[in-house]
Amino acid sequence: MSGIHGDKYEAILDAAYTVFGAKGFYESKISEIAEDAGVAKGTVYLYFKSKEQLFTAVTRRDCEQYLAEMQGALVQHNLAEGLLRMANLHLHYYYKRKQHTQLFFMTPNNNPDLIEFMRGFIRDYTDMVTNKLASEGVQQPEFHAKAFIGMLERMKMDILWNQDFHECDVDQTAEWAAHLFMHGCKARVQ
Amino acid sequence: MSGIHGDKYEAILDAAYTVFGAKGFYESKISEIAEDAGVAKGTVYLYFKSKEQLFTAVTRRDCEQYLAEMQGALVQHNLAEGLLRMANLHLHYYYKRKQHTQLFFMTPNNNPDLIEFMRGFIRDYTDMVTNKLASEGVQQPEFHAKAFIGMLERMKMDILWNQDFHECDVDQTAEWAAHLFMHGCKARVQ
Amino acid sequence: MSGIHGDKYEAILDAAYTVFGAKGFYESKISEIAEDAGVAKGTVYLYFKSKEQLFTAVTRRDCEQYLAEMQGALVQHNLAEGLLRMANLHLHYYYKRKQHTQLFFMTPNNNPDLIEFMRGFIRDYTDMVTNKLASEGVQQPEFHAKAFIGMLERMKMDILWNQDFHECDVDQTAEWAAHLFMHGCKARVQ
Amino acid sequence: MSGIHGDKYEAILDAAYTVFGAKGFYESKISEIAEDAGVAKGTVYLYFKSKEQLFTAVTRRDCEQYLAEMQGALVQHNLAEGLLRMANLHLHYYYKRKQHTQLFFMTPNNNPDLIEFMRGFIRDYTDMVTNKLASEGVQQPEFHAKAFIGMLERMKMDILWNQDFHECDVDQTAEWAAHLFMHGCKARVQ
DNA sequence: AATGAATGAGGTTTCATTCAT
DNA sequence: GATGAATGAAACCTCATTCAT
């Protein structure tokens, strides 16, 4: 036993992360997840009530881990430094998850639990950035938080889709994003 | 016959737009689309080879219409004005499509045609903005184009999700977005 | 008008002969037959009440033509000569119809009309041979007629299936079959 | 578990044999086979990948059983005795299968696996008889094997179609067939 | 007579979930 | 706890046939 849930719980969650991440919710089969986890199909249902609940659990684990890492990036730095660290973390996080694209796109709809959780995650993330911006005196901090996260999300797409987006490009992109957010594009016009 | 395809073609496309937009690809049933269009199930297959092809056709129509409208927003204006118009168009477009959220999220995966089309659309949109920025002397125009579109996409989310996001808020948001992109957030710090 | 039915009737029958012959009843589509005949789908139903009736008509035409040709082979010849002519006709007939294999195998079942017709055809063919044998003094003429036809049917299979069965082989086979039927296999044993 | 496959496997195969045999491939429904086997529809697909594969499995089992029985009929007998035993076995085999006529006629086409298997079966059967004839000094043994089998196949038709063909008639027919094959029809002419 | 758009019944197949062992 | 055989609902899609033009 490695935790309160037991090894199988983790194995199933890991397998679900892999399979859902590769194929999305609807094209993933419980049988494949079970096989990948090295357990029987029925065992999945001992730990998770349904396919949807399993998906939600996978998402939850990923998002919580993300927020925990992000938390550290923002404290005890000035605005410029904080934004740069945040951008780097955001982009590198998804760079490492290139194989799990579908986790962020092909989610089950009609599932109130998941929808609520995802909105909660987005709200929490936004709040975290909003608070940082507010504490640094930025006006309309919530709008600015959303705008910065939006920029980074679009950069994330490039990372997930372009095979030739390498780790060094990630650093460069993060730097540009933070700079643009701080000074606007006019700064670069002659 | 109102066009080259006939009334039924349009009726099915409209119904598919409604149903796919409300439930996403996987949770939508051809039978429901057919009923909504006022035709028999088999009729859908006279006009579209498969459920996936129908979804692609719906997406294509929406995206092409979008690009056509966007085209007009960018020409013959200076940078500030062009960005503001673009932001307004982007956000108002999706404000009008609040009921069709799922069209943008729950798409079928494993469908090469659709994936290719969507990437083409995103590329075309990005190019359109990139060219505008380049012609106005902005450095790294592609990066800046993506960043601006990313900001707007995040604002779009708020519009789609928040019931209390009203049309007047859209204008305000567009203005802020364009301003932030031009001058950065520092401009608002004391 | 080339006959009492008109050109389209013949065109449909010819197309049906081709398509049914190539794919069998169940895998053939009325739409394909119509296209092959150069008429609209609905036109097929002006001349034939149903797909099954069309198949029956195709079969009937082919069988009647066959019996008519066979009739001539048996009259005014002695037994040996008559059997040889018959064997030749039987095998060459199907040699010419190599492309229409499925007409003889993939027939619709559950169709009383067709079943009755086919049995009638087999009975007529058998009677024709039986009468010849009886008139030449062969005992148990019906059994012998069936046996000879059976031999030839098996040879027909080889013709339909083997790509390297050439026209000259047909003659040889017919000769052997007639000889075997007349004298038995012992005649060839040392 | 009564065998390597389990009871359900056999039950489904038996039910498929019954239903396919009565109605042919195309007119048989998986749901009917499942009901006949006393299992749910989905269970059929646990054991057989598709309807076609199930049909092939049924055919294979029947043919293999047939060849095994036939093997015994031909060994350790002189030619006359061997042919008589073979004719009896051939005809009695199908006499017992009167209810499964459609298994031999209404097979799925366009199925390479099945076509290959059937040709293999016919080849194996022919070879078996050919070898026997060759070992007894009959010239052109392959031709003669095919001819004899052809005769018997035609007799099989009578058995399958005529309700008033009784078991005693089968013996008589086998005897006549073997005699005809050995001595020809001339032996019966005055 | 000829057309072909429209219909809709119906069958194969999948797969999440259950439960007896 | 663990298994995996069994279930059966549900949906896509086909295609013979009809009928208004």
Phi, psi of C53 (to 5 degrees): -65, -35
Q: Taking CB atoms and an 8 Å limit, are C189 and D139 in contact across chains?
A: yes
| C132-156 burial code (b ≥16 CB/10 A, e <16) | bbbebebebbebbbbbbbbbbbbbb
Residue C41 to residue C57: CA distance in whole angstroms: 17
Degrees (nearest 5) of the Cα angle B73, B79, B84? 50
Distance C139 CA to E18 C1' (A): 70
Q: Smallest Cα–C1' distance to nucleotide E7: which residue has it?
A: B40
CATH code, domain carrying A124? 1.10.357.10
| B37: nt with nearest C1' to CA | E6
Distance C35 CA to F9 C1' (A): 39
Residue C109: which of D24, D137, D173 has the nearest Cβ? D24
Residue D150 confidence (pLDDT): 96
- The string of pLDDT tens digits covering residues D119-169 is 999 999 999 999 999 999 999 999 999 999 999 999 998 898 888 899 999
D107 domain residue, yes or no? yes
B89 domain residue, yes or no? yes
| Alpha-helical runs (H) found in D75-187 | 79-95, 102-105, 112-135, 141-161, 167-183
Domain extent, residue C145, equals 52-188
Best of C102, C143, C146 to disrupt the D interface (most D CBs within 10 Å) is C143
D32 domain residue, yes or no? no
* Other CB atoms within 10 A of residue C73 CB: 20
Q: Taking CB atoms and an 8 Å limit, are D181 and C183 in contact across chains?
A: no
C47 domain residue, yes or no? no
- The string of pLDDT tens digits covering residues D28-56 is 999 999 999 999 999 999 999 999 999 99
Per the CB < 8 A criterion, the answer to whether D126 and D119 are in contact is no
Q: Summarize the confidence of residues B139-168 as an average pLDDT.
A: 92
Q: Percent of chain B scored above 70 by pLDDT?
A: 94
Q: Taking CB atoms and an 8 Å limit, are A182 and B182 in contact across chains?
A: no
Q: Which residue of A has its CA nearest to B140?
A: A188
| A28: nt with nearest C1' to CA | E15
Confidence tier at D4 by pLDDT (50, 70, 90): low
pLDDT of residue B3 exceeding 60, the answer is no
B30 domain residue, yes or no? no
Class of residue A183 by CB neighbours under 10 A (exposed 0-12, middle 13-18, buried 19+): middle
CB-proximal positions of chain E, under 7 Å: 1-20
Q: Summarize the confidence of residues C76-98 as an average pLDDT.
A: 91
Per the CB < 8 A criterion, the answer to whether B124 and B67 are in contact is yes
Structural domain tally of chain A? Answer: 1
C98 domain residue, yes or no? yes
- The string of pLDDT tens digits covering residues B23-45 is 999 999 999 999 999 999 999 99
Residue B6 confidence (pLDDT): 77
Q: Which residues of D touch C189 (CB under 8 A)?
A: 136-139
| Contacts of B among chains (3+ CB pairs under 8 A) | A
B11 domain residue, yes or no? no
pLDDT of residue D182 exceeding 80, the answer is yes
Distance A14 CA to F5 C1' (A): 26
Average pLDDT of each block of 10 consecutive residues along chain A (190 residues)?
72 96 93 97 97 95 93 84 94 91 76 89 95 93 96 92 89 96 72
D5 domain residue, yes or no? no
Q: Taking CB atoms and an 8 Å limit, are B147 and A107 in contact across chains?
A: no
What are the CA-CA distances from residue D66 to residues A187, B125, D99, D141 (Å)? 89, 69, 16, 21
Residue A52 confidence (pLDDT): 95
Residue B109: which of A102, A173, A177 has the nearest Cβ? A102
Residue C109 to residue D24: CA distance in whole angstroms: 7
| A49: nt with nearest C1' to CA | E17
Q: Which residues of C touch D147 (CB under 8 A)?
A: 151, 154-155, 176-177, 180
